[in-house]
Amino acid sequence: MTMLESYRECVIYGIFILVCINGSRCEKNDEQAEDLYKLMVEVMGSNYSQDDENTRNKGKSTWETCESRTDSLREALTESSRHTLVSSTYVSFFTHNLRLQSDLLSQFSARATEHVKLAKSISSHLDVDVRQGIEETKKLVEQVLAIAENLIKSTPWVKNRHLVAKFEKITSELRMHDNYGKDFQKVTNILVAVEKTFLECRLSYSFVEESDLLCYIMTASEHRLSHGDEVFSLDDNAFNNHPTLAFGFPNYHHTQYGREMASKLGYTGFTVGHEIGHTFFDSYSQPELLPYFSKQVDDCVQNQFNATCTEYMEDSCATTDDFLDENGADIFGLQLAYELMKEYYGFNIGNIIERLNMTYDQLFFYSYAMGFCSGSLSSVELQDDGKYEPHSAHNIRINTIAQHPAFQQAFNCPTDSRMMRSATRQCHIYGNEAPETRRKFLI
């Protein structure tokens, strides 16, 4: 078989599939049916036009008898290809439709995978039963939000510019997504409907060669899936898509089954604080959600991460504006979590846990660091668009805690130790010690 013959066969089988796809739905899209009719006239000649004229004059769909004509149509196409060069119109039309179908299948495959992943993830949450952990994490969100709100209200520039009400509104909008029952039912219904369409199609078109491929395309055309939500994930991750907060399975598991509150607050508590921190930390030059943010705070955060990069770089490290939002959320998140630590333990925060031979505040910082330990050299990732993946290197995120006074106190770090040499002045994101500024507000 020559290359041209091979190409013809490929094109003919492709149009054969397209005819069945579009034919079974032409009553919904007369324009597409007309295009296909013109294409068939182009490929098969005037005889096809004359044969089909009576059907068209009766106002019936050209393709309403697709099932009964499938075999004869393919034979006609194949026979025509042996005697006629594939026209440019034919190739152009088929290539365009093939590209559309390819995009459709790629999108359907990706989104169906997202839906399956979500269903499996929720199922795992329920199998291990972290429902209590979900409720406890939700409580942590409420407690950390209350701390953040109090700090914001006591911030000089917030009070002086009469922005308390604006921040209260933003705070009131934040919610942790925890409706696993509704989500599981929704995603299951979608997947069952997709499977039903595919199986019914395969039964109807069992006589068609490569019927599974045909039915896969038809199913993708029938179900235009949206992106699957990542609100329940098995990964050690979390996100803030304001106003929605969501956390990964490890946070719920640790919160439910961890023995000490200090370890829960160092791990899940920090993650909660970090995600809430995304709402309240911004770039002073291009604030998004907030009416204003402080340049002094931005500079303070980046100075700390730069100093830690200089001291602790392993494989690679950087401190550009690409990292600003995540860096700020790290520092503010740790501050929020530790404030909750102080509320919970009070004067007992420095007491020793006998079975662990460490204090509660030491356990808090160990638990925080555990979330970033990977066993490999820490690095940053430069993406295809020339920007960095926005999270700083793991070891840098760990060692910036040196700027929190409670860390030095918990471990009695000498001021000339390596950790303390890398510590810059503490960054007060909010609170009565936060920097004041006279810069004009963007309201």
* pLDDT, tens only, 173-223: 999 999 999 999 999 999 999 999 999 989 988 877 788 888 888 899 889
* Residue 196: how many other CB atoms lie within 10 Å: 11
Residue 168 CA: distances (Å) to CA of 141, 143, 155, 273, 280:
15, 15, 13, 17, 11
Q: State the pLDDT at residue 53.
A: 53
Q: State the pLDDT at residue 10.
A: 45
Quote the tokens at residue 173: 């909008």
Q: State the pLDDT at residue 6.
A: 43
Q: State the pLDDT at residue 161.
A: 83
Residue 269 CA: distances (Å) to CA of 138, 165, 347, 406:
11, 26, 20, 16
Diameter over CA atoms, the chain: 96
What pTM was estimated for this model as a whole?
A: 0.78
> What are the residue boundaries of the structural domains of the chain, listed by start?
3-86, 111-127+186-222, 131-177+231-421
Q: State the pLDDT at residue 27.
A: 43
Q: State the pLDDT at residue 83.
A: 52
Q: Which residue positions in the chain have pLDDT lower than 70?
A: 1-98, 100-101, 437-443
Residue 161 CA: distances (Å) to CA of 413, 423, 428:
39, 32, 18
Q: Which residues contact 38 (CB under 8 A, 6 or more apart)?
A: none
Q: State the pLDDT at residue 288.
A: 82
Q: State the pLDDT at residue 435.
A: 85
Strands (E), 332-416: 352-353, 358-359
Question: Tell me: domain 131-177+231-421, CATH 3.40.390.10, correct?
Answer: yes
Q: State the pLDDT at residue 230.
A: 81
3-class secondary structure, 260: coil
Residue 251 CA: distances (Å) to CA of 63, 122, 123:
55, 14, 16
Cα–Cα dist 326/324, whole Å: 6
DSSP 1: -
Cα–Cα dist 210/110, whole Å: 22
Cα–Cα dist 132/178, whole Å: 11
CA terminus-to-terminus distance, the chain: 71
Strands 238-241 and 244-247: antiparallel
184 — phi, psi (to 5°)?
-65, -40
